[in-house]
Amino acid sequence: AGKGIMTDRQFESHEAKSTKAQADMASRKGTAAQSGMFRQLTGGLESVITAIVDAMPSNVHLYTGTLVSNIRYVEGMYAIDVENSGNDTCGCQSNANSIKTSSINTDSINADNKGGASGATTDSAIEVLLDKAPAMADHVIIATPPATYTQWFKDDPGFDFLRSMEQSSCAIAIMAFDKSTFDGDLKGSGLLITRKTDTPLTACTILNQKWPQTTPDDKVVLRVFIGKPGNDVVEQYSDEELSELAVEEIQHIMRFSAKPEWVRINRLIHCMPQYNVGHRAGIKAVREHVAENYPNLHLIGTPFDGIGIPDGVKQAKELVQTLVNEK
């Protein structure tokens, strides 16, 4: 056959392969539609933390809500200065506020100072640590945002890269709608918004589609992310203003007019490190400095190898494996 021309046998073979490929694709789509490509724990991510705490050996002591004001390397040991909790001097603030759209009432909750059993643990932890202040340790693992290094190793310029790391703020607006009156398009599990789009929103997740086990069958629940680098609405707007902004913007983007039954605002101030040009080189220099001057000090977390939850889990598992292998 000439170039670009098929014989009958070649055509039949091509058709058979094409039909099989289409069938395989349809099968994959069908499976994806039934099982979904996303997974989530029925009890939410908090259940992971609860399970880890419950699995801790009896000789492990957990101190929550305890502010570490400074870490110093002294004669082969680490002196850890602690203070009473209540002040968020690390520069990373978190709060969650619920807003009812019928009458704008704000119920503030400090995510770092919730009541309940953890409150009792916090009080006893502070008392125990302050009795021994400064606490002394031979190994220290730090897994905090970069702003905390403004408080620690204060006289050592080797940590300046972490201290100067740019951090952006973000807010998350969770809003619930009555599914029977929701007039928007609910295809897919969410959407991403380009940086060039004229909106402070960055993404939206349709929670009842992505993780249907987390929402009632008669509700549409959207999770809207607010805050781009260089945009200060998250820091400047009140909860009511952020709520109104999130609803108006997502209504425009998704083209619906339904009003939410309630909106919940959770904001993280200066907690998202920006990996600017030169980040890898800066982190490499910090790690080399630590390796040369601070034995048994281990740095992981958002400033280093990724800001997502999988990144954090990966860093932690690799570090634990390294420590186990050193024994």
Q: What domains does the chain contain, in order, with CATH numbers?
A: 46-92+111-165+275-326 (3.50.50.60), 167-273 (3.90.660.20)
pLDDT, position 120? 34
Cβ–Cβ < 8 Å for 233, 242: yes
Residue 235 pLDDT > 60, yes or no? yes
What confidence score (pLDDT) does residue 248 get? 97
**What is the model's pLDDT at position 13?**
61
User: Which amino acid does the sequence have at 24?
Assistant: D
What is the reported pLDDT for 326?
84
Q: Residue 65 has what pLDDT? A: 80
Which residues, 6 or more positions from 98, have their beta carbon under 8 angstroms from its beta carbon? 106, 107, 262, 263, 264, 265
Average pLDDT on 142-159 reads 90
* Local confidence band at 19 (pLDDT 50, 70, 90 cut-offs): low
The stretch 170-182 carries a mean pLDDT of 94
Q: According to the model, what pLDDT value does residue 24 have?
A: 57
pTM over 0.85: no
**Is the bond into 134 cis (omega within 30 degrees of 0)?**
yes
